[in-house]
Structure 1
């Protein structure tokens, strides 16, 4: 006889485990099914361990520039195995934390590969044994995986996905990064700061293509100044791994095919949803290019089957999945939450310099028919940025000219991933320029630039 629950969550990434916790808080008897590690990709192989690596490279960068702060550091070096060990330890600590949360909230954890076998029915297989579960509602939160190039399968030695790039056995000397989204740029930043010669290849006309054009342009200049080679409007047509390195054929924007040698290559060309072999076809759940189609409450076209997180489409961000999870569960539990709004989900890239944004870019705002007011304030005009030795970057705000609505905010520079939530709150509260102007920002902080950017949009800057 099948074990019965009010809710079963398939997948324990940020979306899945948050959905399970919120369901338990609302009094639902809940089970969560996981085939690998609690916490999913984010905690174990994504968001968290990569930030541990980037923290290491950030400190290493500062060690190499200690003299600028009046300090002396002789011959800085590193132990690659210890760097990886620290990153894995951080991931392991958080994995244990999720286990503790499941126990605290009395959520049943079922290990194995889950498959939908019928309406409200799920079969979980592990080591040849099957466990049958049933529930009124099932949330699919199976996430996504790295997309591979058909002609360049990752071998873990010379051609890497993000997983391989997080646990390198040797430091690349000359690294090719294919793709310049957040994942590609973050790994390019890490390995460049650790001493590798880095080349980024991007098929689109600019790096970080989802960001505001001014941010992309600034980042290309900043990364080039750091020593990276950036090829936009270019594509890798062939990639061959050898015992000693990687040979790449790169078609540049002028149409020429060039051959180049690298020690390693990272493929960061997007993700593929984990929707295969989980029984979606059996129930007739609709998908679009593999991603499950849902509404603003996680509901699919099949009653009782919901989907959240990466498996349900862009933006492929952990915090999007968590927010979507809470809305989904509160709705199915009889609540009345606001429908999920992708426009208020911040995006962050933890490179050096950092990039963060929320809402519409200037170009997208104009495409949507808005007449805009735009303000931009440079880091060089901020006392805290100068004191930190981080005077490069800017904050840009985009407002609707007629209503004062904050349409979008875009940042590049030190610690902007910590600043962006201020604008996220402003958009959620439907704040206009008036409230932002009247808000007191503490001094000296980087956040003052947020205020100045707003003031600049309306011709009232105080420090430029």
Structure 2
């Protein structure tokens, strides 16, 4: 049987793959996308989107419990975990259906099945009807990543969960241990803690949210502790003894191992790239610690083979994957796109309070040899934040003292995941402190704090 020939084959239909396929099709190329499980990938089905739906339920629950603060009355406030999960799954389903529609609208051929790359320019797909052979001059790998499993801490879906189990919980945890305080760990800790789980977070690094700026991490930790979470930093879970309905965790801190009992454990200790079983090694693709090695244009070094998104390494963010997908599609179509710069990609964490950042932390900027000017502005100095009843948070900006370049911006507080984009655009346009100072920010908005933080870096803050 002759192979079906395309201009481009995309392996994986997550936020990297489906976006690459659509952009390539828009540019007039004949495109096929191969997906083994769900259109939209982890992000739409089991990651970004359903977790935000659940966190929104927790946020509304939190507000209902604090109705009195707003001059309102709400008694007998409760939640129905099954209904919260059902809403979250409905949101995910609506969006994956949307992806299917978009691919169809753009005349992308969708092949559902498991792909291997038997030779250069060839993709073999095991479908439920047999094997389909596809060929293309350009192949884009967008197979994503999965949860890292540590030996002895493997998930069983009953006592020990991955993010997937945590999104469809068999029960409400009473005493919860979350291993890992990156975005995924801290979001689940936030969700379950808000709904009343007694929550402990164990982080191996010296602070929670370890990729964030130190001051932001410290501020967030204080908020989490105030909400009743137990935070254990520089700590490690050595083993889990599983019993009937309970887990005994051996947690090492400061050289001592203590035993703590929980009824549920969520493991969120990072991710590994889905690089196995594709035949990549035989093609000569370099793999480093479960990630495909690429250049700044996502080229693997094997002619016509690209890798985008989580499989190509950090930062492991859906929006990075999508942008790389567009870049690669435009390159294949003969364009000259700019490479994606990791330091210009914002990170957003939807815990309570929210955390968002872009660019260099203060410590990283100093490490890189910059002389810095740093500005800070607290939520408590902002009229809109006080009116919202959200006076806890801060905006921090880091500038190059010599040139005025905005090196990084870091925020913690209400709605910061929406605000960070202002600084992202600023960095893209190579803004300086002067440009930002001369920008008129609307009043009353939370965004005014972004202005004040810049002013503060140059000792010009008005409201603080």
> With structure 1 as the length reference, what TM-score do the two structures score?
0.99
Check if 1:95 corresponds to 2:96: yes
Partner of 2:279: 279
Question: What is the CA distance between 1:44 and its match in structure 2?
Answer: 0.2
Counterpart in the other structure of 1:43: 44
Pairs within 5 Å for 1:187-226: 187-226=188-227
Which residue of the partner structure matches residue 317 of structure 1? 317
Shift of 1:127: 2.8
User: Aligned-pair distance for 1:241?
Assistant: 2.3
Query: Number of paired residues?
Result: 463
SS at match of 1:462: coil
- Ranges of 4+ aligned residues in structure 1 off by more than 2 Å: 240-243
- Partner residue of 1:413? 413
Classify the secondary structure of the residue corresponding to 1:420: helix
Matches of 1:243 and 1:276, distance apart in 2 = 35
User: Aligned residue for 2:382?
Assistant: 382
Match of 2:462 in 1: 462
Deviations 1:125-168 (A, max 9, x none): 02361000000000000000000111121010110000000000
Number of the residue aligned with 1:235: 236
Q: What secondary structure sits across from 1:117 in the alignment?
A: coil
> Deviation at 1:294?
1.0
Matched ranges for 1:48-447 at <5 A:
48-127=49-128, 129-252=130-253, 254-447=254-447
In structure 1, distance between residues paired with 2:429 and 2:295: 22
For 1:434 and 1:287, locate their aligned partners in 2 and report how far apart those are by CA, in whole Å: 44
- 1:339 CA displacement: 1.3
Distance 1:154 1:244 in 2: 14
TM-score by length of 2: 0.99
The 2-side partners of 1:113 and 1:240 are apart by 36
Preserved CA contact (<8 Å) 1:376 1:457:
yes
Conserved in 2, the CA contact under 8 Å of 1:145 and 1:271?
yes
**Inter-partner Cα distance in structure 2 for 1:463 and 1:219:** 23
- Cα distance per residue 1:176-203 (max 9 Å; x no partner): 0000000000000000000000000001
What is the CA-CA distance between 1:240 and the residue it aligns to?
Answer: 2.2
Question: 1:421: Cα distance to partner?
Answer: 0.5
Q: Distance in 1 between matches of 2:171 and 2:366?
A: 47
How far has the Cα of 1:304 moved from its partner?
0.7
Q: Deviations over 1:401-456 (max 9, x none)?
A: 00000000000000000000000000111000111001111100000000000000
Any idea what SS the aligned residue of 2:407 has? Answer: strand
2:16 is paired with a residue of what secondary structure? helix
CA distance in 2, matches of 1:423, 1:234: 34
- Whole-angstrom CA distance in 2 between matches of 1:44 and 1:109: 18
Measured after TM superposition, the shift of residue 333 of structure 1 is: 1.3
Superimposed CA distance per residue, residues 388-411 of structure 1 (whole angstroms, 9 cap, x where no aligned partner): 000001000000000000000000
Query: What secondary structure, in the 3-state scheme, does the structure 2 residue paired with 1:356 have?
Result: strand
Q: What secondary structure is seen at the aligned counterpart in 1 of 2:219?
A: helix
1:225-277 deviations in whole A, cap 9, x for unaligned?
A: 1100000000000112223121100001x211111110100000000100000
Task: Give unmatched runs, 5+ long, in structure 2.
Answer: none
Could you give the per-residue CA deviations for residues 94-146 of structure 1, whole angstroms, max 9, x where no partner exists? 00000000100000000000000101000000236100000000000000000
CA contact (8 A) 1:174 1:262 kept: yes
Deviation at 1:340, TM superposition (A): 1.4
Kept in 2, the 8 Å contact 1:152–1:240? The answer is no
Cα-Cα RMSD: 0.7
